[in-house]
Amino acid sequence: MPLPRFPAYIEGVFEEGSSTFESIDPSTERPWAVMPAATADDVDRAVRAAHRALNDPAWAGLTASARGALLHRLGDLVAEHSETLAQLETRDTGKIIRETSAQIGYVAQYYRYYGGLADKIEGRCLPVDKPDMDAFLRREPIGVVAAVVPWNSQLFLSAVKLGPALAAGCTVVLKASEDGPAPLLEFARLVDKAGFPKGVVNIVTGHGEACGQTLTAHPLVSRVAFTGGPSTARHILRNTAANLAHTTLELGGKSPVVVFADADLDSATNAVVAGIFAASGQSCVAGSRLLVERPIHDRLIGRLVDKAKAIRIGDPQNRATEMGPLATARQIAHIEDVVARSLNAGARLMTGGQRHGAAGGGFFYEPTILACADQSVACVQEELFGPVLSVIPFDDEEDAVAKANDTAFGLAAGVFTSSLTRAHRMIRRIRAGVVWVNTYRAVSPIVPFGGYGLSGLGREGGQDAILEYTRVKAVWIRTSDEPIADPFVMR
């Protein structure tokens, strides 16, 4: 049987592309579909299509409320087709069907939320110091947006870019990762069905310079919204030096979860397990550094080891499965390297630490817990993007804060304690864009998201995100009927 083929979506047309590549099923390590590899010419056409659509009355002439209605329609279609999208994401990335179904079902709320905000973008009048002048501010679409997303949680990570961009009146070229692009290429059909004018949303995928660099450096791109790793982000910043595109970066993390001795251990245990082993640890907010107060250190590790050993690993399409494979061969190789270096540096293996022999091959890796005496080992310092938990003891609150902040990243953090005053002190002192107290991984379209340090620039989500897709235009209106004075006549 021939492999299914997925087209790109450029200016309202579905195109298989002159160049293609095979996508690998992470649970079997075998090709399962053929994807379009966008060339530099393809990307240029997509950007130019978005630029034309930006000024076309079919889009530019819509009222803000009409744009909002289109976003509501898109949200409804995502909800209606969430199971199909979930199955594709599971097949192409290995993320278990229980997670993809729940997450994509919630993604619809993001489009509805930004649909509701579309006609809430307001200008304002200014009380200027000129008696015969009025001045006011308008907010207008920033222009063509290049949205670049990774394979993990791609429909969610697209929604936090597409939603505010379209609500603001921008047009978009969305680049899906070459690893697991199927759900976003299928999502293009929902964009088309929702009734967005041609060229408003274009969706491509491809490799390296031909696709990513051409897109982010394109002279007609005014805004880049990127989610991925710091190394790629540096390339993007260099790319945007030519077009001076406004750029936001949502990058990686080494998020600390701090558990004090007075915490509810049942709640903390379940949150830690969800924070590191959900999505096989392939989450930018994975709670990969666990800081535990010494009196409960051994007891909490024991609970976590028991939970880790009981996790059901296997076919990601099976709803009984609790953890699936990693997404790519290079990802599992990276994890093996970091774990090996960490063990050589003195980390103690509490459980896991090797590939899992799931039937039919696949990039499966065991839930792994490493006990570390300090933060110098590789597994504590480097983002693994996998199911590996590093556990470090701390002595008191000062020690916990010092260790939590001992990282170049600063995306998220968790704090578990029964003391409200301690919780507030930790919230103030931890350098992270998101702090969860007595919970972990809660998200909402209403709440901004982003990090400090190497975890990125800017914020996504919430009301203010929509303003990041607008430019401010200052307008002056002279209110006097008298002729303007001759500038060369001195009075």
Task: Give residue 359's pLDDT band: very low, low, confident or very high (50, 70, 90).
Answer: low
pLDDT at site 360: 64
430-468 per-residue burial string, b: 16 or more CB within 10 A, e: under 16: bbbbbbbbeebbebebeebbbbbbbbbebbbbbeebbeb
Contact present, 324 and 291 (Cβ < 8 Å): no
DSSP character at residue 4: P
Its pTM stands at 0.96
Element (H, E) at 227: strand 221-227
Averaged pLDDT, 36-57: 97
How do strand 368-371 and strand 144-148 relate by DSSP bridges? unpaired
Q: Report the candidate in 77, 86, 143 with the shortest Cα–Cα distance to residue 111.
A: 77
d(CA 479, CA 456): 45
d(CA 414, CA 425): 13
Query: Does the active-site annotation cover 250?
Result: yes
Topology annotation, domain 8-251+451-475:
Aldehyde Dehydrogenase; Chain A, domain 1 (3.40.605)
d(CA 156, CA 57): 29
Question: Encoding tokens for residue 411?
Answer: 């995306």
d(CA 435, CA 415): 7
Using one digit for the tens of pLDDT, what is the confidence trace for 150-160? 999 999 999 99
Helix intervals (H) in 244-389: 265-277, 297-310, 329-344, 378-381
Contact present, 384 and 329 (Cβ < 8 Å): no
Catalytic residue, candidates 250, 293, 383, 460: 250
Using one digit for the tens of pLDDT, what is the confidence trace for 402-445? 999 999 999 999 999 999 999 999 999 999 999 999 999 999 99
Domain ranges across the chain: 8-251+451-475, 256-437
pLDDT at site 317: 96
The CATH number of domain 256-437, selected from 3.10.450.50, 3.40.50.2000, 3.90.1150.10, 3.40.309.10: 3.40.309.10
CB under 8 Å to 57, separation ≥6 — which residues?
none
For 265, how many CA atoms within 13 A lie in the half-sphere containing its CB? 15
Averaged pLDDT, 364-380: 95
Contact present, 90 and 26 (Cβ < 8 Å): no
Q: Report the candidate in 437, 391, 422, 417 with the shortest Cα–Cα distance to residue 292.
A: 391
Averaged pLDDT, 96-120: 97
CB under 8 Å to 483, separation ≥6 — which residues?
none
Coil, strand, or helix at residue 6? coil
d(CA 17, CA 37): 7
d(CA 179, CA 328): 8
